[in-house]
Structure 1
């Protein structure tokens, strides 16, 4: 029996035959013992050429002595800016970025203001992250990164603010703007966007090519760089916020336990922390102004950082504690589990790694705290007269079809009964690299048919589940004999009833004939959810748009609003 099937979780330097039988915590213990036996100082790392990179923001800089010398001469700046909401998006926003070198002497701050002037100075916390990655040849690859974080509280609801990072020498980042959540009772329409399984299209600062960037020859319905194209579309749209349902940047590009290579090409596998730098640079044109809210997927479990518990993170999430700012109002020890309310919509991030039977590396780590918290949170949201809509987002799918992962039995068992009980309106999932929308589901079956353009009433019809793992990584395939089904392309043999399976364990699958797969698109797409508040009638219009800008699917969710 293995804990992690090939491709299931990042390889961080543990020999593949051992890693397959280890949890994240066990992998971390192996790494710690290995590094004790092979101590690496900054000087020896540099002399060996692996490099401790001080200039992660230099997109072309490999981990070499030349890069470090270049970094020492360059002025320090902040790159890869990204925003996140706090627990209260009306009043709380977090600012983050990465320094291109070690922190300068003197404070880094955030200037914040609105109405054309900066009136507030926020202190910045610098979080240092050292990554030492054992390689297949016995070498140690190292990096040293510095992330800057600030938080604003007490903001005014529905207000536009502008900000910039300022360094001790007086230099600043470009100014950017954001808007807080609207005050209670607002009837102004707004939108949010979502996808999952994104990654990057370009080589990271280490200079390595990416296995995950190889697309199949028949993959002709896409832009040349789908991950970048989707960010461009979200940036142009300026939604209120963006949800990413796990598998964020793929610092591990393949997950197959293969040897590390530094000369490009395919067939390598090694955790590379500089991919995060490339990723934040990719999304900055959107995330510097639009809060990006992350859930965690299987490729986001990073055993290298398992002992970083300074902010309650373990189970491979210590790197996230250094890089990301999440609301932090979930159960203890579950950093990527949280909830927030924006307008009349309650949004809940669930950590499916805790629930998965297919990839049980982190399964059960919360000891049941997450599901208990989820029940309490859904109870509170449904009791709140200002909340019309409840949206969940997480990685492993409760309901989806594909040849690669399909549906996860553990996630379905934990989440679906709660969705039924609390009439959850919309669930956004990742993991399967495709777009798929279900008919509204109750008790595991389609309650009503909801073809393209239909109107769904979740109170009576059930929960609509979307798989949006179409954010940029190479696509998967459908089950044998099944085809696409989207606007204008129903597929010759593919209806709403198709063959699929439920993953019962690492190697165990239970076939099922399902009746709920309404829309399917095996390429790159994101979802826009247009919110039209009451009074009287309120709607969520869910639209799927490809990376080339073509709308391929739409459904309207409708509720009565007491507002």
Structure 2
């Protein structure tokens, strides 16, 4: 049985034929053994010495010389700033970034305040990440990075704050702002956005001169030159309350096929070389900064986010299963089950959001399947029950990577994910599910107990009656997939044949197994680049709340729209009862919101 299917998880230096039969933990053990047998001093392995600006261990390359010269003259600064809600989105915000080189003496701080006079100083934690990637010729390709994190707490709900990083020498980053979530049940309108499978189009730092993610198919004319970058611009222009990324974040292993591609060092690495490049994260965080420095980007983990190089990383909160690198770079709410760092929940006004780790549930890619021992599903059921029974929450949204319901010629629906999640979503009347994995846009009719209710473009859906709408937005920037033979795109404005909502597809299982199925729920399909803009318009007690889903391409064209509506009970509260606040479990418990 192929535990780790070729091309579906990052290649971090384990020979491809061997890695195919290894879990993440087993891959990490192999890497540890390789490094024990190929001991190098830290000075030798990391002699490039320029942190985020160098992929180290290739110090004779021209880019390494330039990086060392830059590091010797330029002050250390912060790049790739990004935000994440804390466990209490109303009163907590995590502020992160990456240093351009090793920090010097002295303490960094984040200046924080309601205006540019700031007034508060937050301590900054520096997380040091060393990446040593085995190469097939016995050498080691490495990188040394420093990530900075500050945590703001006791904030006012629904308030705007200014912040900046201040270095020990007094230099500062540009001012940026963020807004905390309003109280649970607050009924002002807001917008959030979503996509998945993004990658990075921009040229990478000096450490990766050969890296490129711009290998789009020549017949793809329905796109901008760099879709990933363009979609960031569109999200940044929307200034959403938050952005959801449903897994497969940066693709530090850009191809996923186990073949040598352009990566750090020479443009054409020797045959068989590993191409996992941890400094691709530097390029990625730099690319999203235009949005993520002011909007919380909330990440779920996909199959390309399981990086076995970091399985024993000891970042705060702990992380295994190949998520240690994420814990060094990112800060997620951390209020999910123990040992599941990318499983969490938060509430923004009348919307409850849950991040699920589909790697734990996947039948198609069982590399990490079952790692939580069932605890994720037990936590998920408790959390969904709490959200659905909360009078201040109208809409419940889940997001994750592998699709429970989708069609394509590549992954389609994951049998394990569907079996685990669909019954829970039916039971607790989940309104919207955001998925990735298939590089396409696809919206289902609302589905309940395997049955769908027609919801064409422009329709109004009543989730309490009709079921859950599943949207695949793996259209965030990576090269597109194909449909099953004979099936076509289906979206507003398309000219030509239309294969309709009943199409042939399959459920993906282990070892490439594909169980054929004919589905009647594939309402909208687009093999292009697009994101989801979600407009929340809460109603008052006795009225109707509306969640409008608008699908916008990288060209700026709306190709699909549907409204999800829920009646607001007359006895419903505009907020949670007085004296109650959000708790990390997703329920409401007595307490006071800190200010």
Same fold (TM over 0.5): yes
DSSP 3-state at the match of 1:64:
helix
User: Aligned partners of 1:489, 1:470: CA distance in 2, in Å?
Assistant: 17
Residue 538 of structure 1 and its aligned partner are, at CA, apart by 0.3
1:442 and 2:448 matched: yes
Q: Deviations over 1:269-294 (max 9, x none)?
A: 51100000000000000000000000
Cα separation, partners in 2 of 1:208 and 1:57, compared to 1, 3 Å: closer
1:8 aligns with 2:8: yes
> How far apart are 1:63 and its partner, in Å?
6.0
What's 1:105 paired with?
A: 105
How many residues align? The count is 557
Partners of 1:57 and 1:111 in 2: CA distance: 29
Match of 1:217 in 2: 218
Give the secondary-structure state (helix, strand or coil) at the position aligned to 1:177.
strand
2:539 equivalent among 534, 539, 543: 534
Give the 3-state SS of the residue equivalent to 1:88 in structure 2.
coil
Shift of 1:208: 4.4
Residue 495 of structure 1 pairs with residue 500 of structure 2 = yes
Q: Is the 8 A contact 1:484 1:491 kept in 2?
A: no
Shift of 1:43: 2.4
> Relative to structure 1, is the Cα distance of residues 509 and 184 closer, same or farther in structure 2, using a 3 angstrom cutoff?
closer
Residues 237-252 of structure 1 aligned to structure 2 (within 5 Å): 237-252=238-253
Deviation at 1:259, TM superposition (A): 3.6
Q: 1:419 to 1:490 in 2, by over 3 A?
A: farther
> Equivalent residue for 2:554?
547
**Which residue in 1 is equivalent to 2:146?**
146
> Pick from 48, 53, 58: which aligns with 1:56?
53
Structure 1: how far apart are the matches of 2:116 and 2:497?
Answer: 58
Partner of 2:341: 335
Q: How far off its partner does 1:416 sit? A: 0.4
Aligned 8 A contact 1:484 1:490 in 2: no
- 404, 407, 414: which is aligned to 1:401? 407
Alignment of 1:3-152 (within 5 A): 3-45=3-45, 51-56=48-53, 64-152=64-152
Q: Is the 8 A contact 1:94 1:149 kept in 2?
A: yes
- Specify every segment of 5 or more residues in structure 1 that has no aligned partner in the other structure, as ranges: none
Distance 1:116 1:369 in 2: 44
In the other structure, the counterpart of 2:460 is: 455
CA 1:10 to 1:184, structure 2 compared with 1: closer, same or farther past 3 Å?
A: closer
1:414 aligned residue: 420
Deviations 1:324-363 (A, max 9, x none): 0000000000000000000000000000000001000000
Root-mean-square deviation (Å)? 1.7
| Whole-Å separation in 1 of the counterparts to 2:365 and 2:305 | 13
Are the equivalent residues in 2 in contact too, given 1:46–1:65 (CA < 8 A)? no
Q: Aligned-pair distance for 1:136?
A: 2.5
Deviation by residue 1:406-463 (Cα, 9 ceiling, x = unmatched): 00000001110001000000000000000000000011231x1100000000000000
| CA distance in structure 2 between the partners assigned to 1:289 and 1:358 by the alignment | 36
Deviation at 1:41, TM superposition (A): 1.9
| Shift in alpha-carbon separation, 1:200–1:260, aligned structure 2, 3 A | closer
Where does residue 267 of structure 2 map in the other structure? 264
Q: Residue 380 of structure 2 corresponds to which residue in structure 1?
A: 374
Could you say what secondary structure the match of 2:208 adopts? coil
The separation in 2 between residues aligned to 1:62 and 1:463, in whole angstroms, is 54
Residue of structure 2 aligned with 1:425, choices 428, 431, 452: 431
Counterparts of 2:297 and 2:532 in 1: how far apart (Å)?
14
Q: CA 1:290–1:62 in 2, change beyond 3 Å: closer, same or farther?
A: farther
Given that residues 434 and 475 in structure 1 are in contact (C-alpha distance below 8 angstroms), is that contact kept between their aligned partners in structure 2?
yes
Say whether the 8 Å CA contact 1:91–1:154 is kept in structure 2: yes
1:295 positional shift = 0.2
Q: CA deviation at 1:112?
A: 0.4
Separation in 2 of the partners of 1:282 and 1:111?
23
Give yes or no for contact 1:45–1:52 (8 Å, CA) kept in 2: no
Q: Which residue of 2 aligns with 1:387?
A: 393
Cα deviation, residue 257, structure 1: 1.6
User: How far is 1:40 from its partner?
Assistant: 2.1
Which of 517, 523, 536 is 1:518 aligned to? 523
Task: Determine if contact 2:430/2:463 at 8 Å carries over to the other structure.
Answer: yes
Asked if 1 retains the 8 angstrom alpha-carbon contact of 2:484 and 2:504, the reply is yes
CA distance in 1: counterparts of 2:193 and 2:275, whole angstroms: 31
5 Å-filtered alignment, 1:247-396, equals 247-259=248-260, 262-264=265-267, 270-310=275-315, 311-396=317-402
- What SS does the aligned partner of 1:395 have? coil
**Contact in 2 for aligned 1:253/1:269 (Cα 8 Å):** no
Q: Does the Cα contact within 8 Å between 2:255 and 2:261 map onto a contact in 1?
A: no
CA contact (8 A) 2:136 2:274 kept: no
Q: Quote how far apart the aligned CAs of 1:207 are.
A: 2.5
Partner of 2:170: 170
Task: Give per-residue Cα distances to partners, 1:500-556, cap 9 Å, x unaligned.
Answer: 000121321100000000000001000011000111110000000000100000000
- Distance in 1 (CA, whole Å) between partners of 2:511 and 2:351 is 36
Cα–Cα, structure 1 residues 55 and 467, in superposed 2: closer, same or farther, change >3 Å? closer
Residue by residue over 1:91-120, the C-alpha shift from the partner in whole angstroms, topping out at 9 and shown as x without a partner, is 000000001111121110000001442111
Q: CA deviation at 1:186?
A: 2.9
Q: Distance in 2 between matches of 1:444 and 1:265?
A: 49
User: Cα distance, 1:490 vs. partner?
Assistant: 6.6
Retained in 1: the 8 A contact 2:196–2:248? Answer: yes
8 Å CA contact retained: 1:136, 1:259: no
Aligned partners of 1:55 and 1:71 also within 8 Å? no
